[in-house]
Structure 1
């Protein structure tokens, strides 16, 4: 998965919030609160993973534009 400049900045911003949640969850898990700690670690992982795979309302215009350009512009076949 390749990220552009904006995608990298968005990932960094997400990590700013996800890392403390994950660390607190790991500490809670190791202190004997398995449900709370495990739940917080799962939330931290989902904070990072879900935005990469879910379509948000801001992604819709880009996906529509890509499909329109893909239908209008055809890539030439490689001639050997």
Structure 2
């Protein structure tokens, strides 16, 4: 699945916050705190995965517009099978 420019920027912003949490989780696991380390790793993964999987109320109009534009562009490309000279 290809990401658009805005989606890439959003993912980068999410990773800025998720990577330190993941590093903390790994260090905590190495130091012997498996429960808190695993919890930190799970939170870091959820920080990245949930925004990509869940639909927020702000996403609904954008997805509806994307579907409508896709239907219009794919459905009416200006060709109806004739070459425009009146002969069939």
**Common fold: TM-score over 0.5:** yes
Greater than 6 Å deviation, 4+ residue runs? none
Moved more, 4-13 or 55-64: 55-64
Moved more, 16-25 or 46-55: 46-55
Moved more, 55-64 or 37-46: 55-64
In the alignment, the residues of structure 1 paired with residue 13 and residue 4 of structure 2 have an alpha-carbon distance, to the nearest angstrom, of: 14
RMSD (Å), alpha carbons: 1.7
Equivalent in the alignment of 1:40: 40
TM-score by length of 1: 0.83
For structure 2, the 5+ residue unaligned runs are: 78-88
- Number of residues of Structure 1 aligned to a counterpart in Structure 2: 76
For structure 1, the 5+ residue unaligned runs are: none
